[in-house]
Structure 1
Amino acid sequence: MPPELDTARFYENHIRRYGYDYRALGFGRRSSQEKRFQTALALGDFHHKRLLDVGCGFGDFLAWLNARGIEPRYTGIDICRPMIEHSRKRFKGTSAKFQIADALTFVTDHPYDYIVASGIFGHNAKDTAKRIQPTLERLFDLARIGLSVNFLSRCAVTRSPGRLYLHPADVLQFALKLTPAVRLDHTYMPNDFTLCLYRRPPWETE
């Protein structure tokens, strides 16, 4: 089974078990989900910017941003159909757009200012690890300003079965091939890290 279909089935099973709840997304606590949101926000100013939320789930990141007065020009994509259908109902009447799509093959006519990919590599489906580099390349190509992406860290003291843990140095090494402007944050949780990749190095804008 292709990894994207395996992953979609994994989350569909979680929805049947937990309903439309943060646990269906693989988060043990809502606070861990929100810590990832806060770290992604460090990428830049999303207000009124074109934002692509990859692996958008139930649109929780958009709701979190809106609660803080941040209103991006938002598009969310996910490979899990029930999540997209729920998000469309949740944000009906708003300008937010939701689409069933795979990050690796997603096509758009216009680049996004910012792209956030949270939790898309958490499920250890067969060959998921092989998709990481081409997916990062694809998403960075679509980002006009920057890309934020998080991973489970192999430096974690405890690990959960069925989850994909990566060494931060390995992912950083590849990210630096895409751009010299990369920030790695391994400070917000012991089992997680985030990379922010910038199209234009900050030192060139000073």
Structure 2
Amino acid sequence: MPDGVKSPGRSPEIFDFYSRALREGQTDHARVGWESAALQKLRFEALLQAFDTQPRSHATLLDVGCGLGDLVPYLAATGRDFEYTGVDIHPAMIAEARQRYPDARFEVADVFELADGAYDFVLCSGALSLRFASEEDSYAFIDKLHQIARLASAFNLQSKDGFNSGRGHALRSDFWHVAPVEVYTRLRATVPNIVLREDVVPTDAFYALYHDFCPALGRTALTELERAEVLAQRGEHALAFAALDGLTGPRAAFLRGICCAHLLRDDEATLWLERANEEAPESLDIIEALVHLSLIDEDLDAAEALVLNMRTTNADLAELRDNIRYPLHEVLLASGALERADRVAEGVESEFVALLMKAGRALASDDTSRAENLLRRALGLRPYDARPRPLLIVALARAERWVECLREAADLLVYLPANEVARVLGLDAMRKLAKQSRYGNPQGREAAEALASVRSHTILGPLVQRLLPKP
């Protein structure tokens, strides 16, 4: 148990609440603190639906705060096949649950004493309704539930919004009433996949937390190859690679290569992609991935050979083919290999990509005026494509047209993160801007105006100030 956390199993207030309910309740649901049997079942159903998305025969299920074991007959009634274990902090409840359902397993246990990953699924219906010693203790309990679960955990909380909805539900001082979205936001910082439901009971918020698992995958009619592709697109590359086990063909080899590349297994990635390319030599997405890997490895010869040997009989793919050439063209220009860059640019059919390549070539030759004209034409063709803007910022900075330069940088933030925009702006250009702004000549006045124009910009203002040297 985390240092300083008080387990509900050691809280006399929580223990006394359930002792009183067990002693005074006139019905089974009242004896475990629920207002009706129907709502108890409705809560069971909402929580179990979180696990239905991944059918798994004889999956293990831990019922935390199981009370009298009422979930056992509900599982049977709804045809759900789990290897069930119920745990509770109250010995009297566990004793009665064992009498009622002798074939089920029940234990008196504190969840903080259970091993991580011990069960496939963990369900907790109602045990988090009462206040713990502190809110941090409640969050620690939620964290532990999810750690015990190998695949997913689900629980419900008392919603402050539901109790304030005007439906006659009064807030209770002994309940932990939460703002559902605030809890979601906090959990989302550490758990990759969360579902929040508020459509079941007005007073409850239901949460399902998943370990590297997309709930929609469980019931979607996908082939094994499609399933692996979805996992890869979600960024779960280790799971995707495992899902490809036993699958053959160029697409499977391609996906294995992509997964290996993201898992930083570059040599293995290259082998898989080369195998895919041998089986499907006209597949441009395979060639694009190989070019990308070659550029990462700084193997410009390999990248150039791939680009120049591309072949496809589909004229509609000319744009894609030219887009594969463009990154290599940029790298060759940056390395000063102008003749090789010109060779890569030969035969480009896309007007837009041709304009970008010609503009890059003009910048490499310090012809900023021609570069700007070409880039303006490219933006006229595709105003929402971000690729011309970094080049345009470079051209404007070289021409010391700072107001326009920073205006383009502000527009670029729509497409790129701030750190990338900072890289495009460049420290040298910003230092030159700061130095010029101190002079009273026309260039100095424009530099000062440029700085003033972005001072109030939410992102660009602080960004530029960080780039500028201290006075």
Change (3 A) 1:146 1:2: closer
Greater CA radius of gyration, 1 or 2?
2
Shift of residue 124 of structure 1?
A: 2.9
Shift of residue 5 of structure 1?
A: 2.9
Q: What is the CA–CA distance in structure 1 between the aligned matches of 2:58 and 2:7, rounded to whole Å?
A: 36
The structure in which a higher percent of residues are helix is 2
Change (3 A) 1:109 1:134: closer
Shift of residue 25 of structure 1?
A: 1.8
Name segments (4+ residues, structure 1) moved above 4 Å: none
Change (3 A) 1:31 1:111: same
- Map 1:106-125 to 2 at 5 A: 106-108=113-115, 111-125=118-132
The CA deviation string for residues 131-175 of structure 1, in whole angstroms up to 9 with x for no partner, is: 111111111111111000100100023224232211101211222
RMSD of aligned C-alpha atoms? 2.2
The CA deviation string for residues 17-43 of structure 1, in whole angstroms up to 9 with x for no partner, is: 015610122211111111111101111
- Map 1:1-206 to 2 at 5 A: 3=8, 4-18=11-25, 21-45=28-52, 47-92=57-102, 94=103, 96-103=104-111, 105-108=112-115, 111-125=118-132, 127-156=133-162, 157=164, 158-161=169-172, 162-202=174-214, 204=231
CA contact (8 A) 1:53 1:115 kept: yes
105-114 vs 66-75, greater mean Cα deviation: 105-114
Q: Secondary structure at the match of 1:124?
A: coil
Q: What is the CA–CA distance in structure 1 between the aligned matches of 2:141 and 2:59, rounded to whole Å?
A: 22
The CA deviation string for residues 71-108 of structure 1, in whole angstroms up to 9 with x for no partner, is: 3111111111111111111111x1x21111222x2323
Q: Which runs of 5+ in 1 are unaligned?
A: none
18-27 vs 139-148, greater mean Cα deviation: 18-27
Q: What is the CA–CA distance in structure 1 between the aligned matches of 2:134 and 2:72, rounded to whole Å?
A: 26
Code of the residue aligned with 2:110 in structure 1: it is: D
Q: Secondary structure at the match of 1:151?
A: strand
CA contact (8 A) 2:116 2:148 kept: no
Code of the residue aligned with 2:23 in structure 1: it is: R
CA contact (8 A) 1:47 1:70 kept: no
TM-score normalised by structure 2 residue count: 0.41
Count of aligned pairs between the two proteins:
202
Q: Which runs of 5+ in 2 are unaligned?
A: 1-5, 215-229, 232-238, 241-471
**Identical-pair percentage:** 27
46-55 vs 9-18, greater mean Cα deviation: 46-55
The structure in which a higher percent of residues are strand is 1
Shift of residue 196 of structure 1?
A: 0.2
CA contact (8 A) 2:123 2:153 kept: yes
Q: Secondary structure at the match of 1:52?
A: strand
The CA deviation string for residues 101-136 of structure 1, in whole angstroms up to 9 with x for no partner, is: 222x232386211000110121235x1523111111
CA contact (8 A) 1:115 1:147 kept: yes
TM-score normalised by structure 1 residue count: 0.89
CA contact (8 A) 1:20 1:58 kept: no
Q: What is the CA–CA distance in structure 1 between the aligned matches of 2:65 and 2:160, rounded to whole Å?
A: 21
CA contact (8 A) 2:195 2:209 kept: yes
